[in-house]
Structure 1
Amino acid sequence: MSVAAPIGKPSFDSALHAARQAAGPQHYPAGALYAVATPIGNLADITLRALHVLQIADAIACEDTRHTQRLLRSYGIDGRPLIAVHEHNEAEAAQQVLERLRRGERVAYASDAGTPAVSDPGARLAAACAQAGLRVVPLPGASSVTTAISAAGLAGDGRFVFMGFLPAKAGERTAAAQALAQERRAVVLLEAPHRIAALADALAALGERPVTVGRELTKQFEQIATLPCAGLAHWLAADAQRQRGEFVLVLHPFDAAPPEGEGERVLKLLLPELPLKTAVRLAAELTGAPRNVLYGQALALKAAAD
């Protein structure tokens, strides 16, 4: 007879059983590093394959051993050796992991939350494995980047740029935010609670450009809102709770379509002074209009002028 889990504390016994049933028959090569994505907030967002690998790994490398120990115990996994591999010791700690891999061990790597090496440690470790001719097996799963993108309701072609954290120094952060005004694609930013107000001030220069703010994504007090960049600072100040937790921000893309006739107007100014191809290239850069469309318009303007 099993003992019921305390109220409010989930039991993952059935998930561990399902992981063994679903993922167990698959092949897990020895001497490989397994990059394991872990939940960004909600414990139930772990994958079955991740649970299985964490159970069969000979050792688990992790960003913070205390955090990962709590995570493993929440799932009912215990007894695995933990190796600290974080931003301050990653190059040195990687050698310890490589030694285990050369002995034929399976080593899982987990950062504190989300997918390793995405604004988290793990990239140097993976690079060291590749350089040593050792295999890296990625286990996809939770990611704050794709979570925010899926809720932002972006228009356009779906392209985005991941910028992560802007510089911490005020001047560099302001310059970086102003540079984003030239980026037509969607942009994903990350920020910590103690700097979110400063980031909002810097983004105010982007005016009416929409930004989706994701706060505490997947957690109990998750909050998602879309508003103009110019209003972000006011939105944060309106409720002290809004400045708490971890943040993912998605700048929406520009409307790539230029005003009707704008490309042709610019061509009329440039063609008398420049070769046709140069005029088309500059008009495309200035207006964002497709170069092939502008080229056709330029040929028509040339023909009409002749």
Structure 2
Amino acid sequence: MEVALYIVPTPIGNLDDITIRAMKILSSANIIASEDTRHTGTMLKALNIPHKKLESYHEHNEEQKSSFLVNEILSRKSVALVTDAGTPGISDPGFRLIRKAIENNIKIISLPGPTAFIPALVASGLPVNEFHFFGFPPAKKGRKTFLQEVAKQKSTSILYESPYKILKLIEELIEFCGSDRQICIAREISKVFEEYIRGTLEECKQILQSKTAIKGEFVIILSRTK
């Protein structure tokens, strides 16, 4: 196996979405750098992927572990980077390690694979020729500025949100964008209860409010400003 930093996407729900190439790399890498080693270990076991060493790499130890992992690669070990689900670096840890690897002239091999916002965008029915990925809104500081930036976008906007904050976000988008802005809310992509809610912000808000429970991770696809 070539010595490099491998960026390996993992399934966001349906384990069948793992690629053959990803399985080969995960079984061959000297180290798998994982956001949650227990979660990754469970996935590897479910997919019958043998592996060597799991090393924790998450938002609280990124700086320290990035240096450690780069040194491991420089000592001729291959490292595969994974997150709990999806593609590393997309609203997940990975950026610091990738930057440090580049600074040390380490080869980066990034695999194509699962990420939540691409299937949500394609299935939304909104224009896909131009889009802006915003990710998760700030919890407090900078939130108003963030929402103002989303509201004035002249391309399709993509946001992530948790089930606990989705209604609050929709209400804020109504405030900043107007109630008639078109939106698609994707939930539980690739899982058993996958769902798409399409309509105006106000219509989608009412649909969410009518649910007895709001569960799952959400991708919000918002139409451009007029």
TM-score (norm. length: structure 1): 0.70
Q: Map 1:220-235 onto structure 2 (within 5 A).
A: 220-235=192-207
**Distance change >3 Å, CA 240–CA 176, structure 1 → 2:** farther
Q: Distance in 1 between matches of 2:35 and 2:59?
A: 8
Q: Please, which of 6, 11, 15 is the counterpart of residue 43 of structure 1?
A: 15
Following superposition, the deviation at residue 105 of structure 1 comes to 1.2
Identical aligned residues as a percent: 36
Q: Please, which of 163, 167, 177 is the counterpart of residue 197 of structure 1?
A: 167
The secondary structure found in structure 1 opposite 2:80 is: strand
The secondary structure found in structure 1 opposite 2:221 is: strand
Q: Please, which of 15, 29, 32 is the counterpart of residue 2 of structure 2?
A: 29
Q: Distance in 2 between matches of 1:106 and 1:175?
A: 41
For residues 5-27 of structure 1, the C-alpha deviation after alignment (integer angstroms, 9 at most, x for no partner) is xxxxxxxxxxxxxxxxxxxxxxx
Are 1:154 and 1:253, in contact at CA under 8 Å, matched by a contact in 2? Answer: no
**Distance change >3 Å, CA 126–CA 175, structure 1 → 2:** closer
For residues 178-237 of structure 1, the C-alpha deviation after alignment (integer angstroms, 9 at most, x for no partner) is 442211200000001111111111011222111100011110001111111123322211
Which residue of the partner structure matches residue 69 of structure 1? 41
Which residue of the partner structure matches residue 291 of structure 1? none
For residues 146-194 of structure 1, the C-alpha deviation after alignment (integer angstroms, 9 at most, x for no partner) is 1111101123x6100000011212x843443244221120000000111
Q: Map 1:1-306 onto structure 2 (within 5 A).
A: 28-30=1-3, 32-155=4-127, 158-169=129-140, 172-205=142-175, 206=177, 207-241=179-213, 243-254=214-225
Q: Distance in 1 between matches of 2:82 and 2:133?
A: 21
Are 1:204 and 1:232, in contact at CA under 8 Å, matched by a contact in 2? Answer: no
Q: Which structure is higher in RCO with an 8 Å CA cutoff and minimum separation 6?
A: 2
The secondary structure found in structure 2 opposite 1:212 is: strand
Q: Distance in 1 between matches of 2:70 and 2:144?
A: 41
Q: Distance in 2 between matches of 1:240 and 1:86?
A: 34
Q: Distance in 1 between matches of 2:78 and 2:137?
A: 36
Q: Which has the higher helix share?
A: 1
Following superposition, the deviation at residue 121 of structure 1 comes to 0.3
Deviation beyond 2 Å, 4+ runs, structure 1: 171-181, 230-233
Structure 2 unaligned segments of length 5 or more: list them: none
Q: Distance in 2 between matches of 1:218 and 1:101?
A: 34
Are 2:152 and 2:225, in contact at CA under 8 Å, matched by a contact in 1? Answer: no
Q: Distance in 1 between matches of 2:145 and 2:96?
A: 28
Q: Distance in 1 between matches of 2:15 and 2:172?
A: 34
Are 1:174 and 1:202, in contact at CA under 8 Å, matched by a contact in 2? Answer: no
For residues 52-79 of structure 1, the C-alpha deviation after alignment (integer angstroms, 9 at most, x for no partner) is 1011111100111011001100111234
Q: Distance in 1 between matches of 2:192 and 2:211?
A: 17
Q: Distance in 1 between matches of 2:143 and 2:215?
A: 20
The secondary structure found in structure 1 opposite 2:133 is: strand
Are 2:27 and 2:51, in contact at CA under 8 Å, matched by a contact in 1? Answer: no
Most deviating of 137-146 and 232-241: 232-241
Structure 1 unaligned segments of length 5 or more: list them: 1-27, 256-306
Most deviating of 78-87 and 122-131: 78-87
Are 1:173 and 1:199, in contact at CA under 8 Å, matched by a contact in 2? Answer: no
Are 1:41 and 1:219, in contact at CA under 8 Å, matched by a contact in 2? Answer: yes
Over alpha carbons, which structure has the higher Rg?
1
